[in-house]
């Protein structure tokens, strides 16, 4: 595909990095430093205004398949998409990153009548994922596949967990579930029955919903009271407390903007709203932070989110979650004690990657542990290499595993004798370096 990316910031750069190996990519930005960084990739880099017709023509708009506008300015992204549609007589597909709740109230939505094939709200996607994690207290990542029939939850294995020092073949998995990947320090392990779980591992488990009622008990010491402190009442914080409020959580929010606090108190009167600094130890003691089940820091400052997380962890909070805008900090946050560090970047990247891979039947794509592993949900097509052959005879690439097959409403944890049929939804965990080989089986 020929793809034009408008915006060479963190999201745009990582999009280009993920796409340029298999596609012809151009990127446009007004920031000279961002352009210089993007020029390290094998792509066309244009310094200038991405809504300018001449710049779009220089980038090859008339031959392009996809335009992705991911600057920090909603209206600019919308204008870019409209301009691209007009220049190509509506032939090019467009994706816009949009954050204002006046434009969008879902993580991903379609706005074809207004010139955008897809609108993505990274802040709402981030808030929704945080809500999912808070709903499963022992989880550090939650995803749903095949319309919710299959769930994936990533857990951290503490030293007291009964799984420690057990080989996978000796673990009494509930029917319809399995461990699909193990993250151990910097290693990514696609496991077999002989792999042994160690303290500190993060494991991604996948299976049907009912299997997790048992699995959750493996990771939880006690029932929690659903008390959550949210620090930061901006877009992410407001989206999050609305979701928590609807689902019976007892919420306290701290924000240093008095007008924002007044607005939150007015629209969500059941939420205890305090105007102050989320790193103020005296204020944190006043709200009895040590009795909270979780603290979520979602201010616009990475440094403040880190400091707040470390302070509240020292106060005895079981789970602390931090928003990270500079994604290179994500691993650092977790190394120094933050339980879950999350970036809004991934939602945008996942949606764009899915759009570029539709020809292979991909329904969704999820990045795990930054970009250490990927999960694909694909639909097997008639005539593809994957179908009607026993899995043990497929020569599937090392570093990838078929973890679940959904056939109608039947959920299958496969063994080597299973044959995939046309129309099956297949969930695959894979290391990034073998993604292209996995795709080849579905073409």
- Domain annotation covers residue 182: yes
pLDDT band at residue 276 under the 50/70/90 scheme? very high
273 and 163 within one domain: no
Question: In the predicted model, what is the mean pLDDT of residues 360-378?
Answer: 76
397 and 357 inside one domain: yes
- Same domain for 85 and 166? no
- 33 compared with 436, residue with greater pLDDT: 33
Beta-bridged to residue 378, according to DSSP, are 362, 426
pLDDT at 370 over 80: no
Q: How confident is the model at residue 358 (pLDDT cuts 50, 70, 90)?
A: low
345 within some domain: no
pLDDT of residue 84 exceeding 90, the answer is yes
Q: Are residues 363 and 430 in the same domain?
A: yes
- Residues of the chain with pLDDT > 70: what percent? 96
Dihedrals phi, psi of 125, to nearest 5 degrees:
-60, -40
- 339 domain-assigned: no
Decide which of 166, 184, 218 is a domain's last residue. Answer: 218
For residue 23, pLDDT over 70 is answered with yes
Domain boundary among 171, 193, 218: 218
Q: Are residues 212 and 274 in the same domain?
A: no
Residue 152 maps to which CATH number? 3.30.70.1450
**Looking at the structure, do residues 6 and 101 belong to the same domain, yes or no?**
yes
Q: Are residues 98 and 170 in the same domain?
A: no
* Domain-embedded: residue 338: no
pLDDT in tens, 196-252: 999 999 999 999 988 998 898 898 766 566 899 999 999 899 999 999 999 989 999
Residue 62 lies in a domain: yes
**Same domain membership, residue 86 and residue 44:** yes
pLDDT at position 16: 92
Indicate the number of domains in the chain. 4
Evaluate whether residue 337 is within a structural domain.
no
First to last CA, the chain: 16
User: Do residues 172 and 234 both lie within one domain?
Assistant: no
User: Which candidate, 409, 405, 439, places its Cα nearest to that of 425?
Assistant: 405
Length of the chain: 443
Which of 166, 189, 218 terminates a domain? The answer is 218
Tell me the mean pLDDT in the region 303-314: 96
Pair 284, 235 in one domain: yes
Angle at 71 between CA 240 and CA 102, to 5 degrees: 45
* Shared-domain flag, residues 83 and 102: yes
Q: What is the domain extent for residue 197?
A: 142-218
Quote the CA–CA distance of 12 and 29 in Å, as a whole number.
10
State residue 225's pLDDT score.
66
364 located within any domain: yes
Is 184 contained in some domain? yes
CA–CA gap between residue 312 and residue 338 (Å, rounded): 10
């Amino acid at each position: 595909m020929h793809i034009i990316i408008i915006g060479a910031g963190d999201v745009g750069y990582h999009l280009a990095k993920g796409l340029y190996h298999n596609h012809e990519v151009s990127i446009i930005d007004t920031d000279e430093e961002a352009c210089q960084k993007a020029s390290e990739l094998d792509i066309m880099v244009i310094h200038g205004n991405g809504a300018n017709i001449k710049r779009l023509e220089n980038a090859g708009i008339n031959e392009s398949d996809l335009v992705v506008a991911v600057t920090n300015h909603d209206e600019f992204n919308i204008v870019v998409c409209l301009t691209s549609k007009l220049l190509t007589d509506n032939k090019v597909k467009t994706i816009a990153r949009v954050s204002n709740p006046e434009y969008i109230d879902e993580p991903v939505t379609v706005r074809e009548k207004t010139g955008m094939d897809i609108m993505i709200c990274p802040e709402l996607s981030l808030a929704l994922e945080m809500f999912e994690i808070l709903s499963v207290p022992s989880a550090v990542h939650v995803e749903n596949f095949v319309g919710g029939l299959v769930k994936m939850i990533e857990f951290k294995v503490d030293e007291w967990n009964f799984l420690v020092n057990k080989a996978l073949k000796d673990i009494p998995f509930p029917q319809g579930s399995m461990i699909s990947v193990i993250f151990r320090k910097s290693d990514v392990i696609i496991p077999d029955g002989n792999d042994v779980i160690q303290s500190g591992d993060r494991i991604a488990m996948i299976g049907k919903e009912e299997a997790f009622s048992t699995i959750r008990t493996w990771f939880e010491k006690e029932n929690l009271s659903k008390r959550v402190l949210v620090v930061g009442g901006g877009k992410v914080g407001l989206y999050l407390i609305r979701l928590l409020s609807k689902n019976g959580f007892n919420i306290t929010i701290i924000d240093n903007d008095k007008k924002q606090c007044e607005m939150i108190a007015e629209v969500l009167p059941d939420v205890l709203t305090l105007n102050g600094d989320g790193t103020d130890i005296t204020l944190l003691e006043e709200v009895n932070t040590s009795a909270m089940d979780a603290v979520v820091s979602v201010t616009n400052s990475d440094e403040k989110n880190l400091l707040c997380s470390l302070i509240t962890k020292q106060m005895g909070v079981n789970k602390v979650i931090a928003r990270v805008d500079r994604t290179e900090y994500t691993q650092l946050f977790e190394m120094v004690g933050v339980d879950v560090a999350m970036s809004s970047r991934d939602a945008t990247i996942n949606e764009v990657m899915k759009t570029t891979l539709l020809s292979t039947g991909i329904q969704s794509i999820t990045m795990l542990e930054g970009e250490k592993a990927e999960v694909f949900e694909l639909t097997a097509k008639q005539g593809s290499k994957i179908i009607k052959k026993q899995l043990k005879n497929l020569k599937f690439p090392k570093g990838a595993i078929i973890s679940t097959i959904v056939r109608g409403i039947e959920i299958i944890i496969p063994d080597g004798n299973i044959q995939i049929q046309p129309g099956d939804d297949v969930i695959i965990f894979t290391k990034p370096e073998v993604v292209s080989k996995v795709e080849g089986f579905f073409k």
